[in-house]
Amino acid sequence: MLVKDRGKSIRIRKLEVMQRRVIKLHPKYLIMEDELSGRLAGHFGEQSNDYFLKPFRNFSVMHDLRLTAHESYFQIDTLLLSPRYLLNLEVKYITGTLIFDHLNQVIRVKDDGSEEAFRNPIFQVKRQQSHLIEWMTKNRTPPIPVRSLVVMSNPRTIIKALPSNKDVLHYITHSPYLQEKIKVIDKMYTDEKLTIKEVNKLSKMLVRHHVPENPDLLKRYGIEDKDIIKGVYCTECFYLPVVRKKAVWLCPKCLHKSKDLHLYSLSDYVLLFGKSITNKQLCEFLCLSSRHIGKRLLNDMNLPHTGGKKGRVYTLPDPY
DNA sequence: TGTCTATGACGTTATCTCAC
DNA sequence: GTGAGATAACGTCATAGACA
């Protein structure tokens, strides 16, 4: 049973907006694009792994769980809950060969032969597991064993390790073998520690304590207002800016016409700057020639607002 | 001709500046 | 610190123009 679904994270959505709207000459643009492609690959890997979880209908499944630990947070890609144990899955989409050496270092060898140090995913998953156990103790949930696995969702990833490195065998699997791995773990935990009702209660509690990540990427990448390309973009060809003619947005590139293209660009605004907006900010962001057009668009959206005349602040809806 | 949109005029309100 | 005037921002209303 799917309890919490996986969507594109706020971070990925913000990066997508920044890729579209930050000037290409910005010194951090390529680093930002790199982060986006890495995170999209991870997202794709996690989604493709979901296919291998379909046979396990007796588990409650939660994706992208972010919980507090001490003063910070820990994130779980996928958590399977059963009355006998919890299974924490860390999904990795990695290309090339991963070598686990005798010093517990992880080296990734790319297809072109270049090498780079990699964060050891086994340490990562062990840390998540101990954070989860701590979290459950703190929140006084009934005790239940927790197991963790690192799932390699790219079938072409080659994993090399010394035979003495038992952790690799214990913790790492490729997604097509995940079913077999779970069946083995299933046989190890035969005692029911929780009732179905308690499992449901625990999953509801986890969803309630989930804290969505909402990083300030503009600050992180040092992007200022002047670095952002303003205007309404075309949803068909992504050309920016489209022009407004007779209350209709017209894309000069693909000639796509629509009355409500500005709504998509206002979603960009929400992801970049937040949900609060004044008529002046709206006019500037959408490159409107008249504040009256801005006022009309705001009125048509029927948005909640604070303030009377001067200083009125509208609250935009959640991004699409 | 009716409807819709854009825009100018004007009023209201908040904020800033400066003299007292 | 306070009050008056200047300025900016915004809402409302009226009207002109385009279009079906």
| Count of structural domains within chain A | 2
Looking at A144, A176, A209, which one is the last position of a domain?
Answer: A209
Predicted confidence (pLDDT) at residue A56 exceeds the cutoff of 80: no
Q: Is residue A170 a part of any domain in this protein?
A: yes
**A159 and A266 both lie in a single domain:** no
Q: Is residue A272 a part of any domain in this protein?
A: yes
pLDDT (mean) for A209-215: 89
Q: Is residue A103 a part of any domain in this protein?
A: yes
Neighbours of A313 (CB within 10 A): 15
Predicted confidence (pLDDT) at residue A311 exceeds the cutoff of 70: no
Q: Which residue is nearest to nucleotide C17 (CA to C1')?
A: A246
Higher pLDDT, A47 or A137: A137
Q: Is residue A221 a part of any domain in this protein?
A: no
* Alpha-carbon radius of gyration of chain A: 24
- Name the closest nucleotide to A279, judged by C1' and CA: C10
Domain that holds residue A126: 2-209
- Give, in Å, how far the C1' of B12 lies from the CA of A284: 24
CATH number of the domain enclosing A281:
1.10.10
Q: Is residue A224 a part of any domain in this protein?
A: no
Region of residue A274 (phi > 0: left; psi between -120 and 50: alpha; otherwise: beta): left
Rounded Cα gap, residues A94 and A41, in angstroms: 8
**A195 and A277 both lie in a single domain:** no
- Name the closest nucleotide to A288, judged by C1' and CA: B6
3-state class (DSSP) for residue A150: strand
**A57 and A189 both lie in a single domain:** yes
Percent of all residues in chain A with a pLDDT value above 70, rounded to a whole number = 97
pLDDT (mean) for A56-79: 88
**A95 and A200 both lie in a single domain:** yes
Beta bridge partners of A67: A74
Q: Is residue A222 a part of any domain in this protein?
A: no
- Give, in Å, how far the C1' of B15 lies from the CA of A258: 39
Q: Is residue A153 a part of any domain in this protein?
A: yes
- Name the closest nucleotide to A308, judged by C1' and CA: B13
pLDDT at A307: 64
Cα–Cα distance list, A177 to A47, A49, A93, A152, A160 (Å) = 16, 11, 15, 10, 17
Looking at A179, A209, A239, which one is the last position of a domain?
Answer: A209
**A85 and A158 both lie in a single domain:** yes
pLDDT in tens, A113-155: 888 888 889 999 999 999 999 999 999 999 999 999 999 988 8
**A120 and A253 both lie in a single domain:** no
**A180 and A272 both lie in a single domain:** no
Q: Is residue A290 a part of any domain in this protein?
A: yes
Determine which of A101-110, A134-143, A291-300 has the lowest per-residue pLDDT on average.
A291-300
pLDDT at A74: 93
**A163 and A238 both lie in a single domain:** no
CA atoms within 13 A on the CB side of A41: 12
Contact (Cβ atoms closer than 8 angstroms) between residue A53 and residue A60 = no
3-state class (DSSP) for residue A143: coil
- Give, in Å, how far the C1' of B1 lies from the CA of A270: 42
Rounded Cα gap, residues A53 and A49, in angstroms: 7
**A285 and A164 both lie in a single domain:** no
Contact (Cβ atoms closer than 8 angstroms) between residue A291 and residue A310 = no
3-state class (DSSP) for residue A225: helix
Rounded Cα gap, residues A173 and A304, in angstroms: 50
Nearest to A170 by CA among A188, A145, A149, A144: A149
Positions on chain C within 7 A of a protein C-beta: 8-13, 18-19
**A237 and A158 both lie in a single domain:** no
- Give, in Å, how far the C1' of B2 lies from the CA of A294: 25
**A199 and A235 both lie in a single domain:** no
**A144 and A255 both lie in a single domain:** no
